[in-house]
Chain A
Amino acid sequence: MAELAINPGRAAAPQRRRNWPMELNALLGLVAIALIFEIAGWMVRGDSFLFNWSRLSIMILQVSVIGIIAVGVTQVIITGGIDLSSGSIVGATAIIAMSFAQMGTRNGQDFTDAVFWNQGWVDLPVFMPIIVGLFLGLLAGLINGAVIAYTKIPPFIATLGMMVTARGVAKWWTEGQAVSNPTADFAAIGAGMMPVIIFAGIAILFQLVLTYTLYGRHTYAIGSNAAAARMAGINVERHLVTVYAIAGMLSAVAGLVAGSRALTAQAGMGVMYELDAIAMAVIGGVSLIGGRGSIIGTFIGMLIFGVIISGFTFLRVDAYYQEMIKGFIIVAAVVADIYRQKRRGIVD
């Protein structure tokens, strides 16, 4: 029988190397980059880059708001999707939520500029703007997820639509006017190290959720092989809606924190945040084709991002160069991801 002829078939996969987590690569990268800045710091400025608490805390504060977004974006990317609407959701939630958080007085005088002055909706309890903001994020995320899951429009296009729409909403809300004068309670949301604390809570929560819950398991399964997940009885559509809804909510949290911290919300808040968030995830080893990655990785990606920004500032590199270098790093991370997949024989 022909079948009995020697047929090497697929050679047994060599049991090479132990599982080498991508997070470890990212961590090595972080250490290397920090060391480079440390050395450059001594050479250029005659000062330490790393051993400076105020610089480190400013650094982590700067990236925490986008880090909150990146936690949601990570989950979206693990399903094999992408979310370009995060930054616009930040803008829309910040300005709309803030308009429910204004004080009725400023410097002892009536603050008639308050958005809802005529309705008398000033000095509202802080849960009002929070609920409004979270609801908006949830709504935007649900729309993203439903469009992607049920119409099969690619995530890139669907969330690009939301990016434009949500930004439009942000501008329309006050016809371009900034919203300011928030209550003390609302201002407290983003004050001091609160952004870092909120980020840490959210990041730890979702790292655990992704590792230990059904939701996490199915998120990886869908990104790995959506057809197999469906065949196994997972409701892929409903799951995707949940993932995008969570991402929308986390963008809203970022919007609340950013608005609160700035004390003024403008329609332009959060522009390009989505790209930074995606970059943090990809730098942290979250694969753009889905199925692989973790919040821990994204956290390391976020630190790399922070070190680079604060490192260049420390070295007094011009802001224009910083932007260009950031762009280069994003492209490099994506290229590295594609190269990795290629080597593992997933894409060609």
Chain B
Amino acid sequence: MVKTVLKTEGLTKHYGGIQALVDADFEVKEGEHVAIVGDNGAGKSTFVRQITGVEQRTAGRIWFDGNEVTFAGPLDAREAGMECVFQNLALADDLDVPANLFLGREKILLNLGPFSILDRRGMRKATEDGLKATGVRIPRLDYAIRRMSGGQRQGVAIARSATFASKMIIMDEPTAALGVQETAQVENIIRTLKARGIALVLISHNLRQVFDLVDRIVVFRRGHIVANLRKDETDGNDIVAYITGVKTQNVAAALM
């Protein structure tokens, strides 16, 4: 039997009176690529923030890699092997590529506490390797991130996650701001993750991309999971019907 990497039960998040996420039961198997789709405001990013520990959930339980977890922050999640490419990228624009890749987990040459000497050469080398492994092409590693195109920046953010993720990566709309060519690049990077057996949760509005890349599609609508479908048992029209609320699998949501 294939092991489960991530599982949530009854995951719920309220922002004051807003029920952004309600009773989400969700599961990802080892090496499985799952898409989350849904309209703007459906609660997709909220879901990501709860499982990565960026925010603390209102209710529900989370298991990761066999253990029940309560991540105090994204650092905990990272240490457990779960990486996330957030919607707002979270890059330091004035730093170069290796500095961003290793931000917060710098390689150290000599440990002097906060004044530890950086292993700049080691980080550069590891960055080159990491970019190669993920198929991210960046012409100049020593340029500040600010000087790069949207695709290159996204490449750096993804390479950062891919370099350190051992179990699972979450990407929140990684191609939303990209052009056709850059989108294709990011999709290729995602394929290398599949080949490396790393599980993926991909949030995307691009149904063509979703059907190209993932094994399973989960539909969010108004904070509820309304459908959970294998790729081969559905199609684009079907998914759109779930997204817009024409169709629903979820009885609780249907009664709303």
A positions within 8 Å CB-CB of B: 1, 3-4, 6-13, 15, 19, 209, 212-215, 217, 220-221, 223-225, 227-229, 231-234, 239, 242, 291-292, 344, 346
CB<8 Å pairs between A and B, sample of 26: A1-B206, A3-B208, A4-B180, A8-B179, A9-B180, A9-B182, A10-B149, A10-B177, A10-B182, A11-B179, A13-B147, A13-B149, A15-B139, A212-B118, A214-B106, A217-B106, A220-B92, A220-B94, A221-B103, A223-B94, A224-B93, A225-B90, A225-B92, A228-B89, A233-B105, A291-B92
Cross-chain contact B209 with A227 (CB below 8 angstroms): no
Within residues 66 to 123 of chain B, which ones have a CB less than 8 A from any CB in chain A? 73-75, 78, 86, 88-95, 99, 103-106, 108, 112, 114-118, 120
Task: Tell me the interface secondary structure of chain B in the complex.
Answer: loop
User: Contacts A214-B108, A224-B94 given; 6 further ones with Cβ under 8 A?
Assistant: A9-B182, A11-B179, A13-B152, A212-B117, A227-B88, A233-B104
Given A1-B207, A15-B140; A214-B118 close (CB under 8 Å) = yes
Cross-chain contact B93 with A291 (CB below 8 angstroms): yes
Q: Which of A13, A15, A213, A220 touches B95 (beta carbons < 8 Å)? A: A220
What's the least CB distance linking B31 to chain A, in Å?
26
Complex CA gap A217/B115 in Å reads 10
Query: Which of B95, B178, B209: most chain A CB closer than 10 A?
Result: B95
Given A12-B149, A224-B93, A229-B92; A217-B207 close (CB under 8 Å) = no
The count of A-to-B residue pairs whose CB atoms sit within 8 angstroms is: 119
Query: Using an 8 Å CB-CB cutoff, how does the interface string of B47-70 with A read, 1 for contact, 0 for none?
Result: 000000010000000000000000
Cross-chain contact A19 with B90 (CB below 8 angstroms): no
Residue on A nearest B116 in the bound complex, by CB: A214
Cross-chain contact B180 with A7 (CB below 8 angstroms): yes
Query: B152: which A residues are within 8 A, CB to CB?
Result: 12-13
Cross-chain contact B150 with A10 (CB below 8 angstroms): yes
What's the least CB distance linking B72 to chain A, in Å?
11
Say yes or no: is B174 at the interface (Cβ < 8 Å to chain A).
Answer: no
Query: Which of B89, B118, B183: most chain A CB closer than 10 A?
Result: B118
Complex CA gap A122/B176 in Å reads 71
Query: Using an 8 Å CB-CB cutoff, how does the interface string of B136-153 with A read, 1 for contact, 0 for none?
Result: 000110111011111110
B positions within 8 Å CB-CB of A: 54, 73-75, 78, 86, 88-95, 99, 103-106, 108, 112, 114-118, 120, 139-140, 142-144, 146-152, 177-180, 182-183, 205-209, 236
Among all A-B residue pairs, the 10 with the closest Cβ atoms: A9-B179, A232-B104, A10-B150, A291-B94, A233-B104, A224-B92, A224-B94, A12-B149, A232-B103, A228-B90
Query: B95: which A residues are within 8 A, CB to CB?
Result: 217, 220-221, 224
Complex CA gap A212/B116 in Å reads 8
Query: Which of B93, B99, B142: most chain A CB closer than 10 A?
Result: B93
Query: B89: which A residues are within 8 A, CB to CB?
Result: 228
Query: B120: which A residues are within 8 A, CB to CB?
Result: 212
Complex CA gap A221/B103 in Å reads 8
